[in-house]
Every structure is written in structure tokens, then in C-alpha cells.
Amino acid sequence: DGGITQSPKYLFRKEGQNVTLSCEQNLNHDAMYWYRQDPGQGLRLIYYSQIVNDFQKGDIAEGYSVSREKKESFPLTVTSAQKNPTAFYLCASIKPGGVNEQFFGPGTRLTVL
């Protein structure tokens, strides 16, 4: 089955530690996205990548970093510079052409203690 996987589902970290969230897709999609969702709010774009070895900042990139070394993988690092990292993080990819539906992974719920 094709899809997007994110791991882990729940993640706890101490304040001041960097943490990397995994996102893998086997849909052969070029474009991948990282969003953050806080309670009662919509999704806010952190970073996105249209193609391997290229990525752009979204609306709230400060305190985050990404890499796109492979088409299938788009890991997100939450650094200690992110002031309020506790949130639900969602990775998505998009099929080019047609409806341009975004497919989402199941998300990682990060809690910083």
C-alpha cells in the first residue's frame, strides 16, 4: 500500500534538545510539506520541498530545519531555538496535476517538557 508514514506517533523531549521527526512516502510524489497544528487552529506551513535537494521556508520556519536528500524522505528537525515546540506535526505530499490533493501522514504529537 502506498502512503506517508511518520514516526514516532508520540514524542517527548526535554526543553533545549533538538529532535528530528521522520516523514517517508512511497507515492512517488515530488512535493512534500511540513505543517504544525495547535489546538483549535488550522495548519500552518513550516517548510516545503518541490524537488529533491531543494526546499523553501513556509510561514513559520523559525526554529526548524529540513533536508531533502531523497525523494521519499523529508525529515524535520525542531531545534532548541523554537520557542514553543509542543504541537501536532503533519507531513504531506502532493500528486502533481489533476486535483492536486494533499495526502497527509498520521502525524507526530511532540511534547516538550
Interface residues with other proteins (CB under 8 A)? 33, 35, 40-45, 48, 58, 88, 90, 96, 99-102, 104-107, 109
Residue number, 62 or 101, with CB nearest to other proteins? 101
Preceding omega of 85 cis (within 30 degrees of 0): no
Grid coordinates representing 113 are 517538557
Residue number, 7 or 41, with CB nearest to other proteins? 41
Burial class (CB in 10 A: 0-12, 13-18, 19+), 35: buried
Residue number, 85 or 107, with CB nearest to other proteins? 107
Residue 65 Cβ vs other proteins, minimum distance, rounded to whole Å: 18
Query: Which is it for strands 54-57 and 4-7: parallel, antiparallel or unpaired?
Result: unpaired
Residue 24 Cβ vs other proteins, minimum distance, rounded to whole Å: 15
Residue number, 16 or 40, with CB nearest to other proteins? 40
Residue 80 Cβ vs other proteins, minimum distance, rounded to whole Å: 26
- How many other β-carbons are positioned within 10 Å of the β-carbon of residue 59? 10
What residues pair up with 40 in beta bridges, in sequence order?
none
